[in-house]
């Protein structure tokens, strides 16, 4: 049986201009002008709507002094308080953290919900695309750079990357250290992009590849039954791992963003 791996990857992993449902592709209309509305773009819009539907009512309750009741709302509050008290404030410092908490909360849940969208049938994880994670990393780069310049001045921020050096050897090494620190600064933000994309893309690609074994073995019922059983069991296990990775990668992305902001404020 001929299996087109490109179709399988497009349906489960890649960003496309349609939703790949069984035996049918639902193409996304572009109206009068093709403005690049793709599956991942629609999922990101859906994630934004879900976040607004969850956190606007929660914010209204908290601002009005009403206690948060219900298991779901308490769970959301636990996430928010944990990220604030155990991740953001320790990384940035109590004095400066308040200004960055709204962005970092939004970043965490946006990445998390985009990751979890890949667990839905025929959807996908926008964070499995280098374009999405690249934009998120650029946002972090811009915020970190502006933060450093605001706190130390334009020249002071860039020169502050050089570790303290003494004596003649320090004067000689300072230009080389400056270049290395600039490269390190850029590479750290590139790693944010690549780490998130690779983890989400790799997990879903693994599931897609395993699923191809089922139709490939359909030529013989004696092979199809045991292979299908093993593949389904494997995919279930991998899906649980992907679920864990979805939370872990959202945490890591937000944690490292907090650390980089803290490093921009508190230099050598």
| One-character DSSP codes across 39-91 | HHHHHHHHHHHHHHHHHHHHHHHHHTTPPP-SHHHHHHHHHHHHIIIIIIHHH
Confidence check: pLDDT of 101 > 70? yes
pTM: 0.86
Q: Is the pLDDT of residue 74 over 80?
A: yes
pLDDT in tens, 154-190: 888 888 887 777 767 767 777 888 888 889 889 988 9
Q: Which of 235, 18, 239, 15 is nearest to 128 (CA)?
A: 15
Q: How far apart are CA 133 and CA 207, in angstroms?
A: 21
Torsions phi, psi for 7 (to 5 deg): -65, -40
pLDDT-based confidence at residue 39 (cuts at 50, 70, 90): confident
Res. 110: pLDDT tops 60: yes
> How does pLDDT run across 130-161, given as a tens digit for each residue?
889 999 999 999 999 999 999 888 888 888 88
Q: How far is CA 213 from the centre of its chain?
A: 29
Range 193-196, long-range pairs (CB < 8 A, 24+ positions): 193/130, 193/133, 193/134, 193/136, 193/137, 194/130, 194/133, 195/249, 195/252, 195/253, 196/111, 196/127, 196/133, 196/136, 196/249, 196/252, 196/253
pLDDT tens digits, one per residue of 1-19: 444 555 555 556 677 776 6
Give me the pLDDT at residue 6, please: 55
């Amino acid at each position: 049986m001929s299996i087109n791996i490109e179709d399988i990857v497009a349906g489960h992993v890649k960003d496309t201009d349609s939703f790949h449902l069984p035996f049918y592709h639902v193409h996304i209309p572009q109206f009068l002008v093709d403005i690049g509305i793709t599956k991942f773009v629609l999922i990101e819009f859906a994630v934004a709507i879900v976040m607004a539907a969850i956190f606007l009512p929660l914010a209204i309750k908290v601002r009005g002094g009403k206690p948060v009741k219900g298991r779901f709302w308490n769970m959301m509050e636990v996430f928010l308080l944990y990220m604030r008290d155990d991740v953001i404030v320790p990384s940035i410092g109590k004095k400066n953290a308040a200004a960055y908490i709204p962005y970092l909360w939004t970043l965490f849940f946006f990445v998390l919900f985009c990751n979890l969208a890949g667990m839905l049938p025929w959807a996908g994880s926008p964070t499995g695309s280098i374009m999405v994670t690249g934009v998120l990393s650029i946002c972090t780069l811009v915020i970190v750079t502006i933060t450093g310049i605001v706190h130390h001045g334009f020249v002071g921020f860039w020169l502050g990357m050089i570790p303290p050096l003494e004596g003649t050897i320090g004067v000689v090494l300072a230009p080389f250290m400056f270049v290395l620190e600039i490269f390190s600064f850029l590479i750290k933000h590139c790693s944010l992009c690549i780490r998130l994309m690779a983890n989400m893309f790799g997990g879903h690609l693994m599931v897609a590849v395993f699923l191809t074994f089922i139709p490939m073995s359909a030529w013989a019922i004696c092979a199809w039954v045991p292979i299908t059983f093993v593949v389904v069991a494997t995919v279930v296990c991998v899906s649980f791992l992907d679920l864990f990775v979805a939370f872990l990668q959202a945490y890591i992305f937000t944690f490292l963003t907090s650390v980089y902001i803290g490093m921009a404020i508190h230099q050598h």
